[in-house]
Amino acid sequence: MAAVDSKQMVLHVIGKGNKQRVLPLTESILAMLREVWKIHRSQRWVFPSRRGTTHLPDTTARAAFTKARSECGFDDKFRPHSLRHSFATHMLQRGVDIRIIQILLGHSSLQSTEIYTHLSEPLRDDLRELLRQTTEGLFEGRRPKNG
């Protein structure tokens, strides 16, 4: 089975524990994947090894990430997992349902997804505004009762 299905606009991914899932593609991501494919033309792997018989080795992917990170000026605290965490946080900030984020991250448990959804400053501000709107005028003109 091909990893990229341009008719269905999906990407077939094999993740941790050999779990398979299907992720939606956008036109721009599909265009980028087509450019990558023109280089190696692997029918099975999105990022194949040099021989094309298996996927790109983890060590090669990590070396490429480390080089890109260095060229961007990030320190070694910025790791590949940071991208995953940022993705989940940005999706949540945009109002995407946490169950959708769970599917995109490939988590079987919602609790695993909640780890990524810390209460960032923009979310705190949104929460404050929601609370302000919800409670506005609620306590005006009320006097505490003497017990």
Among residues 117, 81, 86, the alpha carbon closest in space to that of 99 is found at 117
Query: H or E element: which one contains 69?
Result: helix 58-72
Are residue 81 and residue 122 in the same domain, yes or no? yes
In angstroms, rounded to a whole number, what is the distance separating the alpha carbons of residues 39 and 100?
Answer: 33
Q: How far is CA 84 from CA 27, 28, 113, 135, in A?
A: 21, 19, 11, 35
Inside any domain, residue 144: no
Inside any domain, residue 143: no
Inside any domain, residue 117: yes
In angstroms, rounded to a whole number, what is the distance separating the alpha carbons of residues 84 and 29?
Answer: 17
Residue 51: domain span: 1-56
Read off the pLDDT of residues 36-53 as tens digits, 9 standing for 90 and up. 999 999 888 889 999 889
Inside any domain, residue 142: no
Inside any domain, residue 11: yes
Are residue 52 and residue 101 in the same domain, yes or no? no
Domain count, the chain: 2
Read off the pLDDT of residues 86-145 as tens digits, 9 standing for 90 and up. 888 888 888 889 899 998 888 889 888 888 766 566 667 777 788 888 888 777 766 666
